[in-house]
Amino acid sequence: MARIVILGAGIGGVPMAYEMKETAGKNHDVIVISDTPTFHFVPSNPWVPPKWRKPEELKIELAPVFKKKGIEFIQKAATKVDPVNNQVHLEDGSAVAYDFLVIATGPRLAFDEVPGLGPDGYTSSVCHVDHAAVAVKDWDKFMENPGPIVVGAVQGASCYGPAYEYLMILEAELRKRQIRDKVPMTFVTAEPYIGHLGLGGVGDTKGLLESALRDKHIKWITNARVDKIEAGMMYVTEVDEEGKDKKKHELPFNHSMMLPAFTGIDALRNIGVEGLVNARGFVMVDEYQRNKAFKNIYSVGVCVAIPPVEATPLPVGTPKTGYMIESMVTAAAHNIADELAGKEPTHKATWNALCLADFGDSGVAFLAKPQIPPRNTTWSAEGKWVHWAKIGFEKYFMRKIRKGISEPFYEKSMLKLMGIVRLKGK
Ligand SMILES: Cc1cc2nc3c(=O)[nH]c(=O)nc-3n(C[C@H](O)[C@H](O)[C@H](O)COP(=O)(O)OP(=O)(O)OC[C@H]3O[C@@H](n4cnc5c(N)ncnc54)[C@H](O)[C@@H]3O)c2cc1C
């Protein structure tokens, strides 16, 4: 009987546990370690500050569903992964041994890389549901004293869609409250152009997103390096195509949310062992989601090392999105099952990207197969239906987690759901 430990219980870790249990069968133990008792549906965090969702609505208690599925749950933070001795060290000084380890710990949010960035500084965050809960208070304060809003993603970020979403959601909320005229809005991004998204664009995302920003009178600065943030003021340097300083901007704000760069979590960094993670603490994997140096370690989700899709004047990372993460999960689960059966891994993740960027009352959808160019399929579209599809996405993905459904969600349900909503013309 093998011990398969899954570290992290987010969008990657929980489906990994379900699919692993299903694939490995009753003869092997599946154990999940997470620092929180609840699953968090991260994609809906941008709806929390304007109170379109309560933080509690995005959380699911994991212990009952894991119990029902026969999955052991250890609710403790990992302090160090020890790949040499096949152990994960925990915050209480104990250690969990494994035969196979799947690392699914998501990102460490590197707010420390820009002075004044993040909830301990002067900008809000929607990267974690607890940050979004704090941002509700910032938003309440803003509503008492509306003024300029600055939203975006700093240099080195590898997640851009939620920045556009948050901007557009606030824009829709301000229109609803009939105070949009009091609020100048600016989008600040390290991307070389609007709609690059860390993917070199997908279909006409450049045209669609630029047009949406123009249509809503939102200014933007691309190739933007955020130098520092002080109370109510962001200092930005716009660089040229060579990455050289071109123009300085001082942007006053009454509310700001900027996505940070990501690194791997602390338990993966400074472990004193070569070959598991890269310089930023992301787990290095081969085409089978398996680490080359420690072949009993697999990894899925945002914590996986993926190089940027192309050189850009400022560092712009490649996003790891839900569809892509699901394909990593399926490949890892089947490869571990094969190894348990004495076979070599053969399953490869497709790394396709499907994203619904909600604009509050409309949105932009895009599909990139595979996520990293050159691609076989690139498609993007706009409409009210995207907003409704995003609500459906939340509802059905949370149902999968709550009910312990092991079937892949995107391949089986999401594409169908999008098609139906679109056909209904919403
Ligand atoms: C605001 C936002 C919106 C997004 N929206 C979308 C979207 O609409 N569509 C899309 O496809 N993608 C979206 N993404 C991208 C991606 O799907 C999410 O980031 C997703 O949450 C990544 O899943 P993950 O499992 O890799 O990481 P996470 O979901 O962050 O899960 C990581 C897990 O590891 C746990 N963990 C961390 N450290 C430790 C430790 N030391 N010990 C134990 N456990 C630990 C965490 O508590 C968590 O349970 C969005 C990302 C963000 C930030």
pLDDT tens by residue, 242-257: 999 999 999 999 999 9
The pLDDT score that the predictor gives to residue 372 is 78
CA 18 to chain centre: 20
pLDDT for the residue numbered 351: 83
Alpha helix segments (H runs only) across 43-160: 62-69, 129-144
In the structure, which protein residues have their CB atom closer than 6 angstroms to any atom of ligand 1? 7-13, 33-36, 42-43, 45-46, 77-78, 104-106, 126-127, 159, 162, 265, 267, 301-302, 321-322, 325, 355
Q: Does the pLDDT at position 426 exceed 90?
A: no
Mean pLDDT across 156-170: 97
Contact residues for 120 (Cβ-Cβ < 8 A; gap 6+): 111
Query: What is the 325 CA–ligand 1 centroid distance (Å)?
Result: 10
Nearest CA to ligand 1 atom 15: 321
What stretch of H or E contains 259?
A: strand 255-259
Range scoring the smallest mean pLDDT among 233-237, 342-346, 367-371: 367-371
Choice between 368 and 137, residue whose per-residue pLDDT is larger: 137
% of residues, the chain, pLDDT over 70: 98
> Which residues is 252 bridged to in the sheet?
233
Q: How confident is the model at residue 409 (pLDDT cuts 50, 70, 90)?
A: confident
Ligand 1 atom closest to the CA of 301, numbered from 1 = 26
Residue 349: predicted pLDDT: 94
**Ramachandran angles phi, psi of 248, nearest 5°:** -95, 140
Residues with catalytic function:
159, 355
Q: Quick one: pLDDT band at residue 415, thresholds 50, 70, 90?
A: confident
Least confident range from 118-122, 256-260, 349-353, 397-401: namely: 349-353
Using alpha carbons only, give the angle 75, 288, 2 rounded to the nearest 5 degrees.
45
> By the 8 A CB rule, do 199 and 308 touch?
no
Tokens of 19: 């699919």
Q: Do 284 and 298 touch, CB atoms closer than 8 A?
A: no
Query: Ligand 1, residues 108, 302, 329: which to mutate, most atoms within 8 A of Cβ?
Result: 302
Nearest CA to ligand 1 atom 3: 43
Q: Kindly state the tokens that stand for 341.
A: 């059966």
195 CA distance to ligand 1 middle (Å): 22
Distance 67 CA to ligand 1 centre (A): 23
Task: Give the tokens for residue 28.
Answer: 């092997």
- Lowest mean pLDDT segment, chosen from 150-164, 248-262, 408-422: 408-422
Q: Which atom of ligand 1 is nearest to the CA of 9?
A: 49
**Residue 193 DSSP SS3:** coil
Q: Does the pLDDT at position 411 exceed 80?
A: no
Q: What are phi and psi of 276, to 5 degrees?
A: -90, -50
Band (211; pLDDT cuts 50, 70, 90)? very high
Domains and CATH numbers, the chain: 3-108+263-350 (3.50.50.100), 111-260 (3.50.50.60)
Ligand 1 centroid to Cα of residue 245, in Å, is 33
Question: Terminus-to-terminus CA distance in the chain, angstroms?
Answer: 51
Whether residue 292 has pLDDT greater than 90: yes
Between the CA of 12 and the centroid of ligand 1 the distance, in Å, is: 7
Average pLDDT over residues 195-207: 93
Average pLDDT of span 185-211? 95
Q: Any residues with CB less than 8 A from the CB of 291 and at least 6 apart, and which? A: 83, 275, 276, 283, 284, 285, 297, 298, 299
Test site for ligand 1: of 105, 265, 328, most ligand atoms within 8 A of the Cβ: 105
Report the pLDDT value the prediction gives residue 381, as an integer from 0 to 100.
85
pLDDT at residue 268 is higher than 90? yes
Q: Are 163 and 153 in contact (CB under 8 A)?
A: yes
pLDDT(103) > 70 = yes
Contact between 295 and 338 under an 8 Å Cβ cutoff? The reply is: no
Closest atom of ligand 1 to 302 CA is 26
| Residue of the CA atom closest to atom 50 of ligand 1 | 43
- Ligand 1, pocket-test mutation among 59, 94, 257, 321, most atoms within 8 A of CB: 321
Which residue minimizes the CA distance to atom 1 of ligand 1?
A: 127
What's residue 424's pLDDT?
A: 64
Average pLDDT over residues 71-77: 98
Q: Which residue would you say has higher pLDDT here, 129 or 374?
A: 129
Distance (angstroms) between ligand 1 centre and the Cα of 259 equals: 13
* Residue 192, number of CB atoms within 10 A of its CB: 18
**3 state SS of 289:** coil
| Mean pLDDT of all residues in 131-153 | 97
Q: Which residues contact 240 (CB under 8 A, 6 or more apart)?
A: 223, 246, 313
Rounded Cα gap, residues 417 and 7, in angstroms: 30
Mean pLDDT across the chain, nearest whole number?
95
